[in-house]
Structure 1
């Protein structure tokens, strides 16, 4: 079987980054329960390279936002597809996501997230 990943980039208001992180850590465990092999999220640090479009520009990040880049590794597209059906239905997800999408304090805006599923092209390992 070939591994499959879901990748995403999303802006998070800097003042809520720690709150987002706490929810993401719990969300990661749920994804793993439904078949993910690994779940990663990283905060942008070096986002500009001359002659390229930065993630910051691509998602029109504001001065007070950090860029989070993440991916979820699955053993196959089939397991990923099943997880993508099951995870949103898990009752723990609603409780974890609700505070992040509250319109009074919007931490996670899915409409500004860039997302996609990917098959392997090159896999250079140790």
Structure 2
């Protein structure tokens, strides 16, 4: 089964990672309520491969930051578009995101986030899930 995903890469201050995680765990549940099949975020651990550009470069991370790589899977682009509208209108999202962006040291800086929607090209898995 092919899906549509929204993928993203962003920097998060290392000392704020736990706070970010607590918020994102709630955000993931909201996305799933509005139609996401899967919501995943990972912390960069080994992102340098000689001869390639790293996610740390893309996200312009600073010494005290880590890279987050994530995606949200949907049945289709149409399902994703509908979920995006619903999530944007959900007041819980505003309440959750505000503390991450409206501080003297923001945890989340959307201007340094890389984002895009992706349709399936190849899917090969040993698992029955996305």
Normalised-by-shorter TM-score class: over 0.9
Corresponding position of 2:93: 93
Q: For 1:40 and 1:105, locate their aligned partners in 2 and report how far apart those are by CA, in whole Å.
A: 25
Q: For 1:18 and 1:76, locate their aligned partners in 2 and report how far apart those are by CA, in whole Å.
A: 32
Q: For 1:85 and 1:39, locate their aligned partners in 2 and report how far apart those are by CA, in whole Å.
A: 17
Provide the secondary structure at the position in 1 that maps to 2:104. helix
Structure 1 unaligned residues grouped into runs of 5+: none
Q: Does the CA-based 8 Å contact 2:2-2:123 persist in structure 1?
A: no
Provide the secondary structure at the position in 2 that maps to 1:80. helix
> Which 4+ stretches in 1 moved above 6 angstroms?
none
Q: Does the CA-based 8 Å contact 2:41-2:71 persist in structure 1?
A: yes
Structure 2 unaligned residues grouped into runs of 5+: none
Q: So what's the TM-score if we normalise by structure 1? A: 0.97
Q: So what's the TM-score if we normalise by structure 2? A: 0.94
Summarize the alignment of residues 50-61 of structure 1 with structure 2, pairs less than 5 Å apart.
50-61=50-61
Corresponding position of 1:121: 121
How far residue 105 of structure 1 moved from its aligned partner, in angstroms, is 2.5
Is 1:26–2:26 an aligned residue pair?
Answer: yes
Provide the secondary structure at the position in 2 that maps to 1:104. coil
Summarize the alignment of residues 1-126 of structure 1 with structure 2, pairs less than 5 Å apart.
2-126=2-126
Cα offsets for 1:29-77 (capped at 9, x unmatched): 0000010000000000001000000011122110000000000010111
